[in-house]
Structure 1
């Protein structure tokens, strides 16, 4: 019967591992990097920058490349699986080798015990030392020429000499103590390391009590088993590495077959989104990717047809509006001339006829404004609108726009307050179009001010100029700050239009601002009024990055962080 060795000895394999601590400062942690400006410091900083650039490059490629992620994941998972399988395989081989060796060793040791006990019982010689020496020699000869094991007979008392075929220190003290403390004649074994040809190698030691005075030990070198285990480990490592590489190559090829068509589809989609309606994908085979390409091509074809139909319809609509506007000018001119004659003679007409003539004159003027706006919006739609830029002061445009709307404000009892800076606010813009924008904004503010004052503010900074028109009337609901620039849109359709607008003023103003490379934005709150802000670059053609005036009035922006660029940069 055998007793197992301690678990930590069994888990250690065939022999103990030695670890050697590196000398102090060998890893560079305790050394000096050099003084500032030295070659060592520059090399360290260069290596640090290179490492950071490499990490950033890998991270960027990892996020952008599906191919890299799939192949890398396959390699990592394959390596983990191979490590697990290799560990299990090596553990099984190690366990099998050691179990077989233990069984053989215990069997040989039991045979040696039986032989030694028989010799001791049959011999009647008085020279027991000589007898024990002969027993050791006989048992040692059974190991053969290869020296499969060594034999030791040690006395149970430490001060007596023992007989052995090698050094007695091959038997570990823990095994000796375990046998001497045992009350039975069972066998024990453990692992140790022995000196063999000037080198240490693992060994298995089996021992048991021979008589009350002596103990018999067998020492079995495990060098052969260690060589087998090393061969198995090297084979597993080599085969595992080859399998990981092969799996990586397989993943590379398979992923490329999938990723390449996907990349091609992405490129085609980008070109289609950029406006190339003739873009199509190449169809190869009849698999799922081929079906994707066919579906993409069908979608692109249908999209191209629909866009062409819409372009034709839009072109016809623009042409119709332009033609109708031009054709209506001739009869309108005749009607206006006749109306002017009647309007000039209205004092001589009866009261009923005089009122009719005045209504005719106002409606003819409104009709003329509508035709002018339709012609202007058709020019923007056709891309035929041009700028006549010149350097001008935006303060003059504000004063002119307020002056044009003065009569309307007086009729409604509204005061228009101008807050203009003392310094000039010059910029390169088209005065005709900017005057029209400001006039529309001021008139629109008067229309919706509910009898309250209207404030017009101008400001400028190094790169931009801005004009804000603020009213304290009905305001705008959430989402209407964008809808208010749509053609013919009205916040409240039931509301009576007292100023006779055409419904195209803000749409044309938005187009004029965009033509300058500027912004026209709106803010409003129900019951708190609204504010419209026009922002223009000071130099024609420059990109507008910010506005010198806030879009949200300061009293509503408290506690919120607004940038100089405003809340809604287009």
Structure 2
């Protein structure tokens, strides 16, 4: 799965995960510390309020505490008794108002309650307070969370109870939790944004390397990387530039060699072609056994002529021939080149394409159209038509043939040098015509592809960046 993620995506993901991890740890620590502090503060406040109310209740019920006196090496304290005429409910009603949701008193084995039900108190909490301990417990009453607190009020077996609502505390903790989660998510998003920015800056040299390498792969061998002063990338740039320079020199040398050989072959080739023409003119005078070998030799000489011409064309491109650009009317050029190559009218120009023009090398563009039409005539049952219409990059030129079509696995290979589809047959071609077409279309910043023609056959589609003059 990670292998499918781009390098930029990995950097962004690393930054995002790092930010998410740090924010998560910080959120957990903050939540733990703050929530524990708030809970402890709330419990301490509730216990203090309940103890104060218990002390006030004890004073109202029993009066001031009697001083203890020593007796026989121990201290004796008198058990407090209720003051005469004191109403327990009135004393409980006179307690200062607090946030307590309920107050209850267990006195002399009897319950007194202003609000709340003693049955809602846990038995162990009641038992702990009656035995003289200060106890507290978080419970739910009526579906609401409360903190129940019990304190003794001076006599063994008597205790005072209150419970304090925790809804506001729980709401505060819930809001803090949501805030921390949102902050963690926001931090992760910021980390992704920072990771994208960092990856853009860090991978900029790699993007430049990719661009230059792609240019070299497309035949622009003079493309170079700026070396700069970066100690980490300077060596890579210099090594790449040296490799590209060596490749450029090698290709130029090979192109010169092919051009020189082709030029040297032209003279003997013309001699052989003229001699063959002379022999064919006197074909009727030849013995019958010699006529078929002469015809085969003539076909091979014609293929040899095409090979020399194509090699000269390719060596011219590989040798750095930049050509000359001029404004041409595409409809007129295609019509003339296609009809001449087919020997008949095969071109149909859409009305919206009549005025389209292009900065082009006429020789190269004419060669593109002628090669496509000759390919259809020689190898694909004949040219069914050439179309010119506006669209794509500017103008779309289609060349249809009547052949069996080209399989999907061969559609890219037919544009390679000496690449021929399985249905090409022997014919007169040498496998360089479509390679020249692809080079010349690329030289014009266009595209070429092969599709199926409606009704059968192949359709070559050329798109060029044309505009209306």
Bigger drift between 441-450 and 515-524 goes to 441-450
When residues 345 and 309 of structure 1 are mapped into structure 2, their CA distance, relative to the original with a 3 A threshold, is same
Q: CA deviation at 1:375?
A: 1.2
Q: Tell whether the 8 Å contact from 1:152 to 1:168 is kept in structure 2 after alignment.
A: no
Q: CA deviation at 1:272?
A: 3.5
Q: Which has the higher contact order (CA 8 A, sep 6+)?
A: 2
CA distance, structure 1, for counterparts of residue 451 and residue 197 of structure 2: 48
What do you get for the CA RMSD once the two structures are aligned? 5.8
2:404 to 474, 482, 485: 474
**Are 2:309 and 1:376 aligned?**
no
Ranges in structure 2 where 5+ consecutive residues have no aligned partner: 1-10, 69-79, 113-117, 119-126, 137-148, 163-175, 177-182, 213-223
- 2:64 matched residue in structure 1: 137
CA distance, structure 2, for counterparts of residue 318 and residue 272 of structure 1: 26
Q: CA deviation at 1:405?
A: 2.4
Q: CA deviation at 1:78?
A: 0.9
When residues 181 and 530 of structure 1 are mapped into structure 2, their CA distance, relative to the original with a 3 A threshold, is same
Ranges in structure 1 where 5+ consecutive residues have no aligned partner: 1-62, 117-131, 142-150, 192-203, 221-236, 238-243, 284-292, 408-415, 543-570
Q: CA deviation at 1:327?
A: 2.0
Q: Deviation per CA, 1:14-54, whole angstroms, max 9, x where unpaired? A: xxxxxxxxxxxxxxxxxxxxxxxxxxxxxxxxxxxxxxxxx
- 2:434 matched residue in structure 1: 506
When residues 105 and 282 of structure 1 are mapped into structure 2, their CA distance, relative to the original with a 3 A threshold, is farther
Q: Deviation per CA, 1:48-84, whole angstroms, max 9, x where unpaired? A: xxxxxxxxxxxxxxx9696687457524531332221
Q: CA deviation at 1:390?
A: 3.8
CA distance, structure 2, for counterparts of residue 69 and residue 526 of structure 1: 53
- 1:565 matched residue in structure 2: none
Secondary structure of residue in 2 paired with 1:175 = strand
Q: CA deviation at 1:470?
A: 2.0
- 1:123 matched residue in structure 2: none
- 1:496 matched residue in structure 2: 425
Q: Deviation per CA, 1:359-382, whole angstroms, max 9, x where unpaired? A: 555443432222121111122223
- 1:532 matched residue in structure 2: 460
1:79 to 6, 18, 27: 27
Q: CA deviation at 1:394?
A: 1.7
Secondary structure of residue in 1 paired with 2:417 = coil
- 2:388 matched residue in structure 1: 458
- 1:269 matched residue in structure 2: 206
Q: Tell whether the 8 Å contact from 2:365 to 2:440 is kept in structure 1 after alignment.
A: yes
1:88 to 36, 40, 62: 36
**Are 2:336 and 1:402 aligned?**
no
Q: CA deviation at 1:471?
A: 2.7
When residues 219 and 487 of structure 1 are mapped into structure 2, their CA distance, relative to the original with a 3 A threshold, is closer
Q: Tell whether the 8 Å contact from 1:449 to 1:472 is kept in structure 2 after alignment.
A: yes
Matches within 5 A, 1:206-355: 206=151, 266-275=203-212, 279=227, 307-346=244-283, 349-351=286-288
2:446 to 514, 518, 530: 518
When residues 351 and 79 of structure 1 are mapped into structure 2, their CA distance, relative to the original with a 3 A threshold, is same
CA distance, structure 1, for counterparts of residue 52 and residue 89 of structure 2: 30
- TM-score (norm: length of structure 1): 0.51
Secondary structure of residue in 1 paired with 2:415 = coil
When residues 368 and 158 of structure 1 are mapped into structure 2, their CA distance, relative to the original with a 3 A threshold, is same
- 2:370 matched residue in structure 1: 439
Q: Deviation per CA, 1:66-122, whole angstroms, max 9, x where unpaired? A: 66874575245313322213323554576578779989999x89xx98xx9xxxxxx
Secondary structure of residue in 2 paired with 1:314 = helix
When residues 524 and 269 of structure 1 are mapped into structure 2, their CA distance, relative to the original with a 3 A threshold, is same
Q: Tell whether the 8 Å contact from 2:341 to 2:373 is kept in structure 1 after alignment.
A: no
- TM-score (norm: length of structure 2): 0.60
